[in-house]
Amino acid sequence: MRRFHLKVGFRYLSREQLKDMLRIFSDDPGTVNELTDSELASFDSLTLGLVQAAVQHLKLVGQRPRVRVLLEALMQKQGMQRGDLENRAIGFSL
């Protein structure tokens, strides 16, 4: 039996992939076309897992995943992954 070595590369989502994810997961997919490249420029290290985590977070706190709200949640998730948010609260807050 032979062994095959396969290298798989994982990259961050491109802008077009991010737009596709927003269309799939948001409640208002029609507004995705109104987003400019400059609005999406700061999303340079997103993964599908972060998108799913943001959607689940919004559902957990009772918010509808609208495009703008989802972008804010994605910015938070991306910042936490990078370590940008040093002074974030741990636990529940009201």
Q: Is 33 part of a structural domain of the chain?
A: yes
Expressed as residue numbers, the domain containing 77 is: 15-82
Q: How confident is the model at residue 14 (pLDDT cuts 50, 70, 90)?
A: very high
Nearest to 44 by CA among 91, 8, 7, 11: 11
Question: Residue 1 pLDDT more than 70?
Answer: no
Q: Is 88 part of a structural domain of the chain?
A: no
Q: Is 35 part of a structural domain of the chain?
A: yes
What would the pLDDT profile of 81-94 be if each residue is shown by its tens digit? 887 655 556 666 55
Q: Quote the number of domains for the chain.
A: 1
Contacts for 75 with CB less than 8 Å, ≥ 6 apart? 42, 43
Q: How much is the average pLDDT of 19-33?
A: 94
Q: How confident is the model at residue 6 (pLDDT cuts 50, 70, 90)?
A: confident
DSSP helix/strand/coil, 38:
helix
Give the pLDDT of residue 90.
63
Q: Is 59 part of a structural domain of the chain?
A: yes
Question: Residue 38 pLDDT more than 80?
Answer: yes
